[in-house]
Amino acid sequence: MSHRIVIVGGGAGGLELATRLGRKLGKSGAARIILVDANLTHIWKPLLHEVAAGSLNSSEDELNYVAQAKWNHFEFQLGRMSGLDRAGKSITLAPMLDDDGQVLMPERRIAYDSLVIAVGSTTNDFGTPGAAEHCIFLDTRAQAERFHRRMLSHYLRAHANESEDGSKIDIAIVGAGATGVELAAELHHAAKQLAAYGLNRIRPEDMRITLIEAGPRVLPALPERIARPVHQTLEKLGVTVLTGAAVSEVTADGLKTADGNFIPASLKVWAAGIRAPGFLKDLDGLESNRINQLQVRPTLQTTLDDDVFAFGDCAACPQPGTEGRNVPPRAQAAHQQASLLAKSLRLKISAQPLPEYRYRDYGSLISLSSFSAVGNLMGNLTGSVMLEGWLARVFYVSLYRMHQMALYGVPRTLLLMLSDRIGRSTEPRLKLH
């Protein structure tokens, strides 16, 4: 019987790994590859801020797992992991319900020889009172689309109410990391586009965006030479940037900060901090940290089980030479780890030693919608090169194209690029529904 590799999580890393293994091992019959995810489609998570603003139509950029599995020689199982039996080498999938609450799929068990957990992360509200009730998170496509519908509803109500000369919309974004910064710029772009399409009772300057960061500056995880021009650009766009402002409570009308200020907001997004899904904590005895990440060795095997791997945002992988720090939860880390595991699992089947993961930082790029982009590229020959403007935007877009190439191959990606170019000339620049 062929080796069974079960991959839980169809995010960028898990889907790329399943695709690579399917092409290498599934096609030849050397292994049976099974991908498990709670959704039927995939969208690249760094694009969710564009879905929220309406700059991206998610239904056009989504990937169908069933089709991807057929094309790349792996299997897809719809389900959400709820338990692990390490002794019996199987996982449990929770029952799936349809829209009417009826059982669509009963609880199931899937056996494995090697298990890879790549379930990503969710937003961490740090237990802030009212955050879960009144804020929208941007962890999934459904959440991003929910925000877009709410924003569009404000515009449609104002447009229909002819007795008003105008209206205003207050949006607060908690967390000035990459997601918060990019969302703020994308929303400013959306305000201009909505006015251009005739929904102009809310003028662009009447969309009042406040970006709130508890730390001393925006983009705290990136170098200050990147954060500084980003902060300046946001302020030029009219975004109010508050640093050193910790949110202590969220209400239906706005947010309260620890220093006693109140920020009014009808739409609130929480984009500060991450944590791994709660079911990973004490998962059949596996070690996890305070934010539920599974502790792994440099081989990406969990510390207590050689047959269970974890990578991406849900794994705490040590980073040598950094005084106990872990590999940062970034898309490039997940891509690197997926590439390594594609080799490691082939070696494991043939009982060979596994290589160790070493994180390589190739730089960071931040998109400020159509207005600008800022970042740096890092390499052995060039060192650190600062980029800004049009060139940085080109490199930023290329990251998504590289993700597509890993999933679709070069020919299909080129066709998708051509299709996108044609679509821009025949469709609205902003999703208006």
Tokens of 390: 């049009």
Q: Same CATH topology for 3-121+276-349 and 131-272?
A: yes
Q: How far apart are CA 311 and CA 9, in angstroms?
A: 10
Dihedral sign for Cα 403, 404, 410, 414, please: negative
What is the rounded distance in angstroms from the CA atom of residue 433 to the CA atom of residue 430? 9
The residues with which 365 forms a beta bridge, in sequence order, are 375
Domain 3-121+276-349, CATH 3.50.50.60 — does that match? Answer: yes
d(CA 4, CA 18): 12
- Rounded Cα–Cα distance for residues 134 and 253 (Å): 9
Q: Is the Cα torsion angle 288, 292, 297, 300 positive or negative in sign?
A: positive
Alpha-carbon span 383 to 419, nearest angstrom: 36
Contact present, 265 and 254 (Cβ < 8 Å):
yes
Amino acid at 318: P
Q: Can you give the residue ranges of every domain in the chain?
A: 3-121+276-349, 131-272, 363-426
- The Cα 58–Cα 148 span in angstroms is 11
DSSP 52-81: HHTSS-HHHH-EEHHHHHHHHT-EEEE--E
Helix (H) or strand (E) holding 274: strand 274-275
The rounded Cα 97 to chain-centroid distance in angstroms is 25
HSE value, Cβ hemisphere, 13 Å, CA-based, for 361? 15
Would you list the DSSP string of 77-128?
EE--EEEEETTTTEEEE--EE-TTS-EEE--EEEE-SEEEE----EE--TT-
Task: Give the CATH architecture of domain 131-272.
Answer: 3-Layer(bba) Sandwich (3.50)
- Please state the pTM of the whole predicted model: 0.92
Task: List Cβ neighbours of 142 (8 Å cut-off, separation of 6 or more).
Answer: none
β-bridge partners, 372: 368
Q: Which pLDDT score is estimated for 374?
A: 83
* Structure letter (DSSP) for residue 261: -
DSSP string, 10-47: -SHHHHHHHHHHIIIIITTTSEEEEEEESSSEE--GGG
Is the dihedral angle over the CA atoms 291, 297, 299, 304 positive or is it negative?
A: negative
What pLDDT is attached to residue 165?
A: 53
One pLDDT digit (tens) per residue for the chain, 433 residues: 789 999 999 999 999 999 999 999 999 999 999 999 999 999 999 889 999 999 888 887 899 999 999 999 999 999 999 999 999 999 999 999 888 888 888 999 999 999 999 999 999 999 999 999 999 999 999 999 999 999 999 899 888 876 555 588 999 999 999 999 999 999 999 999 999 998 888 899 999 999 999 999 999 988 888 899 999 999 999 999 999 999 999 999 999 999 999 999 999 999 999 999 999 998 999 999 999 999 999 999 999 999 999 999 999 999 887 777 899 998 899 999 999 999 999 999 999 999 999 999 888 888 888 777 887 776 544 456 767 776 777 777 788 888 888 898 898 888 888 887 777 666 777 888 8
